[in-house]
């Protein structure tokens, strides 16, 4: 199985109301230094509307660039609808909303 397929399988396991970071997904996929490759895999989502790429953020809890997922506002709205907790500065509260990844 290739790296991207591993990434997609892991992302499918992130439950609603939780998020993961690019680096966390890279680590779980067996390539801890491949956070950028995870971002690229999210950008080329083969199953829009099914694969929950909107649940993957950078290590600071920030939304994806505006050209992905319909923009940061769209991503934020999806996460809010799922119950993800945000900080006052607009970032996701990773301490409260980050997925533990134990069920990979």
* 53 is a catalytic site residue: yes
Provide the CATH topology of domain 3-97. Answer: Arc Repressor Mutant, subunit A (1.10.10)
The residue among 20, 88, 9, 22 whose CA lies nearest residue 50 is: 9
Structure tokens at 78: 């999806």
Query: Looking up tokens 């397929």, which residue turns up?
Result: 5
Q: How many CB atoms lie within 10 A of CB 76?
A: 17
Structure tokens at 12: 């499918």
The residue among 70, 8, 79 whose CA lies nearest residue 40 is: 8
DSSP 8-state symbol, 89: T
pLDDT tens, residue by residue, 43-79: 898 998 899 999 999 999 998 876 666 777 889 999 9
Structure tokens at 11: 């992302």
Query: Is the separation of the CB atoms in 52 and 14 below 8 Å?
Result: yes
Q: What is the pLDDT of residue 65?
A: 76
**Which listed residue (7, 10, 19, 53) is catalytic?**
53
Q: What is the pLDDT of residue 27?
A: 97
């Amino acid at each position: 199985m290739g790296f991207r397929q591993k990434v997609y399988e892991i992302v499918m396991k992130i439950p609603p109301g939780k998020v993961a970071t690019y680096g966390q997904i890279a680590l779980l996929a067996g390539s801890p230094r491949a956070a950028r490759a995870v971002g690229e895999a999210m950008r080329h989502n083969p199953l829009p509307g099914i694969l929950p790429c909107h649940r993957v953020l950078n290590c600071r809890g920030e939304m994806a660039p505006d050209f992905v997922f319909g923009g940061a506002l769209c991503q934020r709205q999806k996460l809010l609808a799922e119950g993800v907790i945000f900080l006052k500065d607009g970032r996701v509260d990773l301490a409260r909303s980050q997925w533990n990844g134990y069920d990979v």
